[in-house]
Amino acid sequence: MLTPKVLILRTAGTNCDVETDAAFQLAGAETALAHIQNLISGKIDLADYQILAIPGGFSYGDDISAGILLAVEMKHKLTDALNKFVADDKLILGICNGFQVLVRTGLLPGVSSSKNGVPEMTQQATLAMNTSAKFECRWVDLATQESPCVFTKGINAEIYLPVAHAEGRFTAPSDVLEKLESNNQIVFRYVQSEYPHNPNGSDADIAGVCDTTGRIFGLMPHPERFLMKWNHPRWTRLVGTSGSSSEAGDGLAIFKNAVNYVKSHGK
């Protein structure tokens, strides 16, 4: 059986790459950590992998705007490789800063695509400064939405994950939001609209979205920080929103779903 290979992309300021690496290894994947310059130079070929993960952190110090410099590099220096990766039905995951990168490349939300099904590299939404005007670091309850997202197949109706961001407010023009709703591309919402339950003031309480195929997924909360019950702040009394006694944390299923998808599809 195919062992999925995951490329975890990093650059200056990335700081959640090791945790993301551990998550995919626990899920049964073969992983590689790579600096973006190794992709740009051709030392590493993106085509050798089935899953691309862009972890959290502060890429390039979030100068100008969160994730924008890494997004520009990817969009203009890796266009052909990314387009082929998406056209080959492979998976892309962006967490926190990675979500910001995917939105700024135009890979998400991907409400309009070219003829071959590859999202147009045009930014359609943004992740703006939190309405609290400060960095938010807390655990939040998320409601899983009906969507085509490969990463969330069969997971609990509500899960509990931590957030840590200053620019996490998902906002988009009304026509884009309408398409996200009609296409079922909203994957997670914050369970309550009021602050601090919605920690950033996102439109429609959006915490994560996927593209129309469900194979590109981005979210602000950190699933790689809740892989086992001991990661939970109250692990001695409660594990996850459901109160399950399982030793797996709520975030692990996201990585397992990606790995299982690749195994079942033989990509």
Backbone angles phi, psi at 52, to 5 degrees: -110, 125
| Residues, the chain | 267
User: If we measure between CA atoms, which residue out of 111, 229, 126 comes closest to residue 170?
Assistant: 126
Given the residues 73, 167, 224, 232, select the one marked as catalytic. 224
Q: Is 224 a catalytic residue?
A: yes
β-pairing verdict for 158-165 and 136-144: antiparallel
β-pairing verdict for 216-219 and 30-35: unpaired
Residue 238: count other Cβ atoms within 10 Å of its Cβ. 15
Query: Residues 217, 149: contact at Cβ < 8 Å?
Result: yes
Q: Per the structure block, which two tokens stand in for 18?
A: 């090791």
Rounded-to-integer distance, Cα 182 and Cα 189, Å? 15
> How far, CA to CA in Å, does 261 sit from each of 86, 142, 215, 253?
15, 23, 10, 12
Q: At what angle do helices 79-87 and 68-77 cross, to 10 degrees?
A: 80
- Please identify which residue in the block is written with the tokens 């997971």: 155
Given the residues 16, 19, 73, 96, select the one marked as catalytic. 96
Q: Is 222 a catalytic residue?
A: yes
Rounded-to-integer distance, Cα 213 and Cα 265, Å? 14
- Please identify which residue in the block is written with the tokens 């990509």: 267
Given the residues 16, 73, 210, 222, select the one marked as catalytic. 222
Residues labelled catalytic: 96, 222, 224
